[in-house]
Structure 1
Amino acid sequence: MKHRIVAVLLMVPAILLFAASARAVTIELSGDRISIHAEKSPLSVILSRLSASGIQIQCPPHIDPEVTATVTDKPIHEGLGAVLKPYGYVLFWERSGKNKSLRPAELHVFDSVGREENGREEREEGFAVAVNPKDGSLYVRNEILLRIAPGSDGEILRSLVSGLGGVILETDALLGIHRVRLPDGIDIPDFPAKLKAGENRLTAEPNYAYPIDFPRRFVGRAPRFESVAPQNIISDTTGVPVAVLDSGWTAGYGLEERVIAALDAVNPGMPVTDGLGHGTQMALIAAGEVRPMGTAGEDAKASPIIPIRTFDDSGITSNFALMRGIDFALSSGARVLNMSWGSETSSPFLEEALAYADNRGLIVVAAAGNKATGAPVYPAAYPTVLGIGALAPDGTPWQHSNYGSFVALSAPGYADLPVGYKGEAGIYAGTSIAAAYVANVISGWLTENPDWQKSDVMHRLRTHGLKRQNP
């Protein structure tokens, strides 16, 4: 049975067309992508068509609004999100067939967590974070990430969560990782080890949380170095896009014509804002609107950007928000991803998500950290990520820049920024600035050499490095 369903979904597109008077539903499934056209169609009709394609459906009877939507060749989770908004849903995947390909198996629809009775969505204030006393790592309170082993029955996951009194909040469709909320009283940091001992078909991690690594602002006397005016700045979006996973972006600093897509990964569906300023700072550098001090100005080019708000207004992000942001960066056509932050907490799930992105051709750069400890900082220290240290304007290592074998290179890390981070505009320093600059430079190289792969970029970095201004 599974082999036959996979053949329908993965080998040939499954096209389902139904019409009832003026109401029409067209659904086309092909692999992990979907096209939907619905005009004033009851949700129950749309779900029944999905059921006919082999996806088991669970949806409360009272959730049956009329839906008008058009989605063309989008990832399944995006298409379902457009049709099911403002309701929540979980899409379960399973591996079937000789190639063990992933296919959508079950769709559960439910009233969204935090949604008012009148249907208006509430904006979450941020992540509720707890600290693991054993190692100091942060995690989202009462949340765990779960993944079922390939070939295992999905009922294992549902039975476990139900037995614990938990709720599956959402699923990362690309990686098959489920975000689960558990009741009070469960030791979240110890849960993965206990689960592994009793059930080896499930893998678990806390939904790790990470604080943003803010740059240092100079007050009073700041290092003096002549800035180079940006070159080749053009108001278009024709270059290779850079996705910036940070605290969002704010209009009014010349970025409006550079932004080709944006997402609030903390509160999907809400307008992207930036309550910290850090994301806007990094977006300005990644777009080429601001050049760090000491750069020659020849390497960097104007780049389109995809700002993705993954940090809340307290400067905290979570693994699942980052995975959501990575998914969006891939689906929006980014070839470079900037992560100007770091933590000493390592996460196998996040490492795998970044390895998946790397395999899809996304070049990821990350800040090495603003404490010179020599300890690995993640995501910069993951094998598929380029860790970036910072240089002073005269080309010497910045005294606070982290170091170690995980640092691929160092780049100028001082910038005169028109927007502040939790404060006033001015001169800031940090590996976050250096990482955003390298992301911009790589975008420029890929724009000029569209056939280049990551290996070509690495060769260019090793043989030519980054051009610098002579002091």
Structure 2
Amino acid sequence: MIGIVFAAVLCRGAALRLEGGRAWLKAEGTPVSKVLQLFEQRGAEVLIDPSLELGRVDGEWEDTDVDRLIGQLVSPHSYSIQWKLVESPLGGFYQVSSIRVFGDTAAAVKRISSPERVLDVVVGADGTKYIRGEILVGFKTGSTVNDLNALLRLLNGTVIEVIDPPGIYRIKLNDGLAVEEAVKTASAFPMVDAADANRAFSSAGAPPVALSGTNSGIHLGLVPGGTAIAVFDSGLDPAYAGMDFISGTYNALNPGAAIDDPTGHGTLVSLIAAGAVTPEGETAGSSSASVLSVKVFDENGMTSSDILMSMVNYAVESDIGVINLSFGTYEDVGFLENSVQYAASQGITIFVASGNDGLDTAVNPAASSATVSVGAANPDGSIADYSNTQADTFSSGTVYFGGSTYYGTSFASPYTAYLYATGSQ
């Protein structure tokens, strides 16, 4: 350690790397609260008494005990650190689970940032969208935790999540290394099988849906049954969460919290997947499918590889038989393809909207051999002009709901999933 100074100096940033119980920190006139946010960005929950004066820090620590570092940063205030054991294909390792900084009582602490994750999306030179300062890495068979740590030292990075299967390590970088350069460095590492940016995906093509919060236009009294469907979308209006055919909700951006639906799109998709709303020209069923509504898009309509891959695993663990994805991209989806293939190997059928650009192709992951690509038909059964036609099947994409008519393959896909889940095909 070079030193620590609390003073009113210009904030010039900080860099942090964590490896188990050891830390490497360089700070130049940085508020201690900002340094603690770096721990948060690397997977720790950070809670602080907002009444405390924490000052600024200026110094450099090399291979320092995390507990000792936190004590120096927050002195003279009290603190506690909790740890978790992360199991991974390369072996287990410890990570900081939570940091609490408090004064007279620990009860006054509050989270340092909003618990709802908002993705920091960057557009690369080639137009690819990805999460700032993060890469995903998969290792070759026979690799160990020592190989992981060697790569982390090379990248000056920290593991913030292990997505297993397929055994992918999500690594947080410091600002001094660009994502593109980090991917090249990791790809060239002898024991790395593949590396990629943590890709970001937009729901911009999904039409917003006006919701009344009432039961108007919804088939009630359906007999519950059928295979459970997980809908990965913009969420679910809480007004519909108590319906018999909604088996549960999950907020991928803030696990454990309730979900909402700022666009209405996810709500309508969930209602169609349940059989409670039927597209124009299709026959309403007598039974419903059980739907798990999963919010995967943030307030800006963005999701990411790590979120979608983790939710695929969540669906597998939740005994889900069907997944519906009413969105996609023409870009390469990277490691998401691995997760799609894994879900299919576990017996999950994945229905994906083919896209609304009238092209003789399909968006990803609808184009994957492991998914069922669904195109949109008109109510009379003819293929809709707007529908991409690289599709395994077509269903009506026209939905009248809440006094408005909506169009899109994003509504054809959940109806096809409903037919499959209830055995109505």
TM-superposition CA deviations, 1:273-303 (whole Å, max 9, x none): 22221111111111111000010225x7301
How many angstroms apart in 2 are the aligned matches of 1:391 and 1:435?
11
For 1:28, the equivalent position in structure 2 comes to: none
How many angstroms apart in 2 are the aligned matches of 1:94 and 1:116?
33
TM-score normalized by structure 2? 0.72
For 1:428, the equivalent position in structure 2 comes to: 406
Q: Tell me which of 222, 226, 229 is aligned to 1:239.
A: 226
How many angstroms apart in 2 are the aligned matches of 1:159 and 1:322?
28
Q: Which amino acid aligns with 1:267?
A: N
SS in 2 for 1:358: helix
Give, in angstroms, the shift of residue 334 of structure 1.
0.8
Q: Which amino acid aligns with 1:109?
A: Q
Do residues 261 (structure 1) and 252 (structure 2) align?
Answer: no
Q: Which amino acid aligns with 1:270?
A: A
Give, in angstroms, the shift of residue 112 of structure 1.
4.8
Give, in angstroms, the shift of residue 62 of structure 1.
11
Structural mapping, 1:352-431, within 5 Å: 352-404=338-390, 407-418=391-402, 426-431=404-409
How many angstroms apart in 2 are the aligned matches of 1:309 and 1:403?
28
Q: CA RMSD in A?
A: 3.1
How many angstroms apart in 2 are the aligned matches of 1:119 and 1:231?
42
For 2:46, the equivalent position in structure 1 comes to: none
Do residues 212 (structure 1) and 203 (structure 2) align?
Answer: yes
Do residues 301 (structure 1) and 292 (structure 2) align?
Answer: no
* Number of equivalent positions: 339
Q: Go from structure 1 to structure 2 and tell me whether the alpha carbon gap of 1:191 and 1:301 turns closer, same or farther (over 3 Å shift).
A: farther
How many angstroms apart in 2 are the aligned matches of 1:116 and 1:312?
29
Is the Cα–Cα contact under 8 Å of residues 213 and 342 in structure 1 kept in the other structure?
no
4+ aligned runs moved over 4 Å, structure 1: 58-63, 86-90, 215-219, 228-232
Give, in angstroms, the shift of residue 245 of structure 1.
0.6
Give, in angstroms, the shift of residue 124 of structure 1.
3.2
Do residues 179 (structure 1) and 163 (structure 2) align?
Answer: no
For 1:165, the equivalent position in structure 2 comes to: 156
How many angstroms apart in 2 are the aligned matches of 1:343 and 1:182?
26
Q: Which amino acid aligns with 1:233?
A: L
Do residues 123 (structure 1) and 115 (structure 2) align?
Answer: yes
Is the Cα–Cα contact under 8 Å of residues 265 and 309 in structure 1 kept in the other structure?
yes
Give, in angstroms, the shift of residue 108 of structure 1.
1.3
How many angstroms apart in 2 are the aligned matches of 1:229 and 1:265?
27
Do residues 93 (structure 1) and 104 (structure 2) align?
Answer: no
Q: Go from structure 1 to structure 2 and tell me whether the alpha carbon gap of 1:159 and 1:89 turns closer, same or farther (over 3 Å shift).
A: farther
Q: Go from structure 1 to structure 2 and tell me whether the alpha carbon gap of 1:229 and 1:249 turns closer, same or farther (over 3 Å shift).
A: closer
Q: Go from structure 1 to structure 2 and tell me whether the alpha carbon gap of 1:412 and 1:241 turns closer, same or farther (over 3 Å shift).
A: same
For 2:57, the equivalent position in structure 1 comes to: none
For 2:125, the equivalent position in structure 1 comes to: 133
SS in 2 for 1:207: strand
Is the Cα–Cα contact under 8 Å of residues 241 and 303 in structure 1 kept in the other structure?
yes
Give, in angstroms, the shift of residue 59 of structure 1.
9.0
Q: Go from structure 1 to structure 2 and tell me whether the alpha carbon gap of 1:166 and 1:89 turns closer, same or farther (over 3 Å shift).
A: farther
How many angstroms apart in 2 are the aligned matches of 1:160 and 1:269?
33
How many angstroms apart in 1 are the aligned matches of 2:355 and 2:134?
27
Q: Tell me which of 416, 420, 423 is aligned to 1:442.
A: 420
Q: Go from structure 1 to structure 2 and tell me whether the alpha carbon gap of 1:205 and 1:112 turns closer, same or farther (over 3 Å shift).
A: farther
Structural mapping, 1:293-372, within 5 Å: 293-298=280-285, 301-372=287-358
How many angstroms apart in 2 are the aligned matches of 1:61 and 1:285?
54
Give, in angstroms, the shift of residue 146 of structure 1.
1.3
For 1:252, the equivalent position in structure 2 comes to: 239
Is the Cα–Cα contact under 8 Å of residues 60 and 109 in structure 1 kept in the other structure?
no
Q: Go from structure 1 to structure 2 and tell me whether the alpha carbon gap of 1:218 and 1:278 turns closer, same or farther (over 3 Å shift).
A: closer
Give, in angstroms, the shift of residue 375 of structure 1.
3.8
SS in 2 for 1:109: strand
How many angstroms apart in 2 are the aligned matches of 1:90 and 1:232?
47
SS in 2 for 1:184: coil
Q: Go from structure 1 to structure 2 and tell me whether the alpha carbon gap of 1:112 and 1:380 turns closer, same or farther (over 3 Å shift).
A: farther
SS in 1 for 2:238: coil
Give, in angstroms, the shift of residue 436 of structure 1.
0.8
For 1:109, the equivalent position in structure 2 comes to: 95
Unaligned residue ranges in structure 2 (runs of 5+) = 1-64, 71-80, 103-108, 211-216
Q: Go from structure 1 to structure 2 and tell me whether the alpha carbon gap of 1:112 and 1:201 turns closer, same or farther (over 3 Å shift).
A: same
For 2:49, the equivalent position in structure 1 comes to: none
How many angstroms apart in 1 are the aligned matches of 2:186 and 2:219?
54
How many angstroms apart in 1 are the aligned matches of 2:200 and 2:97?
26
SS in 2 for 1:93: coil
Q: Which amino acid aligns with 1:412?
A: S
**Greater CA deviation, 324-333 or 260-269?**
260-269
How many angstroms apart in 2 are the aligned matches of 1:155 and 1:195?
15
SS in 2 for 1:323: helix
How many angstroms apart in 1 are the aligned matches of 2:85 and 2:184?
25
TM-score normalized by structure 1? 0.65
- Quick one: percent identity of the two aligned structures? 28
How many angstroms apart in 2 are the aligned matches of 1:239 and 1:306?
13
For 1:454, the equivalent position in structure 2 comes to: none
Give, in angstroms, the shift of residue 202 of structure 1.
4.3
SS in 2 for 1:185: coil
For 2:140, the equivalent position in structure 1 comes to: 149
TM-superposition CA deviations, 1:287-332 (whole Å, max 9, x none): 111000010225x730111111111121111010001111111111
How many angstroms apart in 2 are the aligned matches of 1:143 and 1:388?
32
Give, in angstroms, the shift of residue 119 of structure 1.
5.6
Q: Go from structure 1 to structure 2 and tell me whether the alpha carbon gap of 1:60 and 1:287 turns closer, same or farther (over 3 Å shift).
A: farther
